[in-house]
Amino acid sequence: MQELCKHPFVLVRLPMPEDACDSYEIDCYSSLLVHRRCPKMYGKGLKDYVEQVPGSRSGSLFSERTLYPYVTGAALVAVEYKDGILMAADMGGSYGSTLRYKTIEQIKPIGKHSLLGASGEISDFQEILRYLDELILYDNMWDDGNSLGPKEVHNYLTQVMYNRRNKFNPLWNSLVLGGVKNGQKYLGMVSMIGVSFKENHVATGFGNHLARPILRDEWNENLSFEDAVKLLGKCMRILLYRDRSAVNKIQIVKITEEGTTNFPPYSLKTFWGFESYENPTAGEEGHHLKMTN
């Protein structure tokens, strides 16, 4: 073992020149503590040695992970009704705390029998849609008269999310998968760490806290389409009032045995004249005091 020098070092897995100072005498494809300011390395950027590693991409030194989501969608609510599945979500996309985008669709049809909705990181949702496009294409190539149903797609998504979680590189989404096949309705959910379950009504994000209590009280298995739309509208209105990431532009999609119907986006009727909104600190200690210079 060589004597450690005092230059700052960085952990890499690259073949380095023999005359560069390294902290440990191990094979060239193992982890080396390479001194960033070592005189032997002047003028020899680490990028120069990445291309020598079989299978590596130029300029890619480390394996990157999504540490936190960037552009995110807000809550999504879905219910079973008499004829099929109904999903609702707003079309906002937040860049951090900024409501940057207002035309993002969080609900997409999958194959002939399924409907997928997602909240969370939008780019990860797009990646999941690419996975599903490949899955549906592969299934169609068999041309055997059969097609994947919502239960199969739900199981597939559960394995994908759990697999990515085990790699410590999760897809930052909560997924809702609904559909109808052979007269059987199906509605399930998958979390970002692969926890999945099946239920008659589900919600993601703040909807778990604000919409699910309403659904437990007012949902029933014989809901008509009109009543289901009203119920989802009520849930989305509560979320609009309480969730700062929500936007008043709602997308509703239904799926039945006949197929998928995507309705035009619309805005909810709202009322902001509540006393608690106009004077939110009324009744609190010190609310009568005024700030003075």
Enzyme catalytic residues: 66
CA 253/CA 250 separation, integer angstroms? 10
Q: Which residues contact 190 (CB under 8 A, 6 or more apart)?
A: 154, 157, 158, 161, 174, 175, 177, 196
DSSP string spanning 119-168? Answer: EEEHHHHHHHHHHHHHHHHHHHHT-SS----HHHHHHHHHHHHHHHHHTT
Place of tokens 């032997």: 40
The structure tokens listed for 27 are: 């094979």
Residue of 122, 78, 87, 95 lying closest to 245 (CA atoms)? 95
Which value, to the nearest 10 degrees, does the dihedral of the CA atoms of residues 277, 283, 285, 290 take? Answer: 60
Residue 35 near residue 7, CB atoms below 8 Å: yes
Phi then psi for residue 221, to 5 deg, are: -70, -15
Q: Using N-to-C axis directions, what is the helix angle for 122-141 and 150-166, rounded to 10°?
A: 130
